[in-house]
Amino acid sequence: MSAGVEQPLANTPLAGVTVLDLTQIYQGPYCTFLMAKAGAEVIKIEPVNGEPTRTRAKVGGGASFPMAMLNTNKKGVTLNLKSPRGVALFKEMVKKADIVVENFAPGVMDRLGVGWSILHEINPKLIYGTGTGFGLSGPDRDNLAMDVTIQAAAGLMSVTGVADGPPMRSGASVVDFLSGVHLYAGLMTALFERSRTGIGRLVEVSMQETAYPTLASNLGLAYRAKGTVPPRVGNRHGGLALAPYNVYEAADGHIAFVCVTEPHWNNILTAMNRLDLQGDERLSTNKARVENIEYTDATIEAWTKTLKRQDIFDLSKKHGFPAAPVRDLIEVMNDPHMHERRTLEWFDDPELGRVVLPHTSLLLHGTGRVETIASPSLGQHNAEIYSQWFGYTEQDLSALAAGGVL
């Protein structure tokens, strides 16, 4: 499968799979990041000026931290797909590839002359993945899309925030990464199918459609309420079906509680040393606690405010009910648990210095670990890829660069 110099295949699931990565920002790069960490040879193809993430959110005027996070273990080349020579060169690369991934607006690749139908003719085994905001068809297909606009269009913002406040976006780019994982899943499904049929296929993922299932609790409330619009409920359960279910003030911050079962509730009362409340009809069942949710929350918070987050968390583990301290990003970045599991790791980046980077969250036991290699600088592997794949000399590459192709 893999082009270039033949090397022994590593003990990784995607060893020998070659991916041409045209993606940018977060959604697509996270998809191909997962492939690279599974052992695929991912070649990040950027325009000659680089993809937008290179210049976004720069740290102190230097390198972009998101670029470093999402593009480790990839090889980087430049290629101008707006030039005829660049298009021709890309088509030659496609002959040697297993997967092409892009997250441009619908129709962009077709206008460049390298859309799915053309590439499939060139390489029938090729799997082509595309991530868009609203899909390749339908009346909204050409709407511009970014994470925040999809959060708005998909309904996520309408149920995020407090009841008397405005709609709010999530503090994280949840739809970009949610759809990136879906794109990875679709491509891996197609790769499995190809192992049986020998033929590739087009895989598309819509950001809006991947967001919809996350609203299950809220939609359940709308169904039970016979068509009413689900309200914003702050940190309470999206379907207002569980209590306690909230974020409560502690002596040194906040802590989240979730009570799913009656044993959980009894364990909370034990931790609070308030078994006397078992006789309080306002708290006797989940239904009663939901109907008296203000009283429920006030009862919990009167206790949590007297203790530190860690003390409450320790009690939750001792007595058996779901809780967690609300941690800031510095605390999470230094989380001993994830560092021990090596899904977070300290890494010496050539531009950023010593930073914490994520490794893959897909832990496939018995496979080799792909050690982290820094995200490529712009065009870092032009000579390696183009000379190994096509025999280009240094003079050839210089001429292509001078002509605006690389």
Counting every residue written for the chain, the total comes to: 406
Domain residue ranges of the chain, discontinuous segments joined by + = 18-212+337-402, 245-326
Q: Which of 245, 251, 241 is nearest to 265 (CA)?
A: 245
Q: What single DSSP character describes residue 215?
A: G
Beta bridge partners of 323: 257
d(CA 217, CA 394): 59
d(CA 70, CA 178): 14
Cα separation, 130 vs 142, whole angstroms: 14
User: What is the enclosing helix (H) or strand (E) of 18?
Assistant: strand 18-21
Query: What is residue 278's DSSP assignment?
Result: G
DSSP state of 36: H
- Residue 349, strand partner residues: 353
Q: Which strand ranges, in their side-by-side order, compose the sheet holding 202-206?
A: 74-78, 41-46, 18-21, 99-102, 127-132, 202-206
Q: 222: closest CA among 233, 210, 207, 209?
A: 233
Return the pLDDT at 229: 85
Residue with tokens 């005027």: 61
Task: Give the integer Cα–Cα distance in Å for 191 and 148.
Answer: 31
From CA 60, how far away is CA 65, in angstroms rounded?
10
Dist CA 242 CA 258 (whole Å): 8
Cα 75 from Cα 265, distance rounded (Å): 52
Show the low-confidence residues of the chain (pLDDT under 50).
1-8
Identify the CA nearest to 55 among candidates 12, 93, 25: 25
Q: What is the pLDDT of residue 59?
A: 54
In the numeric block, the tokens 């899309």 are attached to 145
DSSP string of 158-186? GGSS-TTS-----SS-HHHHHHHHHHHHH
Is residue 7 within 8 Å of 388, Cβ to Cβ?
no
User: Where does 245-326 sit in CATH, by number?
Assistant: 3.30.1540.10
Would you say domain 18-212+337-402 falls under CATH 3.40.50.10540? yes
The number of CA neighbours under 13 Å toward the Cβ of 43 is 29
The 10s digit of each residue's pLDDT in 325-369 is: 999 999 999 999 999 999 999 999 998 999 999 999 999 999 999
Distance of CA 370 to the CA centre of its chain: 19
Q: What is the pLDDT of residue 130?
A: 98
Q: 96, 132, 102: which is closest to 114 by C-alpha?
A: 102
Distances from the Cα of 244 to the Cα of 188, 189, 262, 304, angstroms: 40, 40, 11, 13
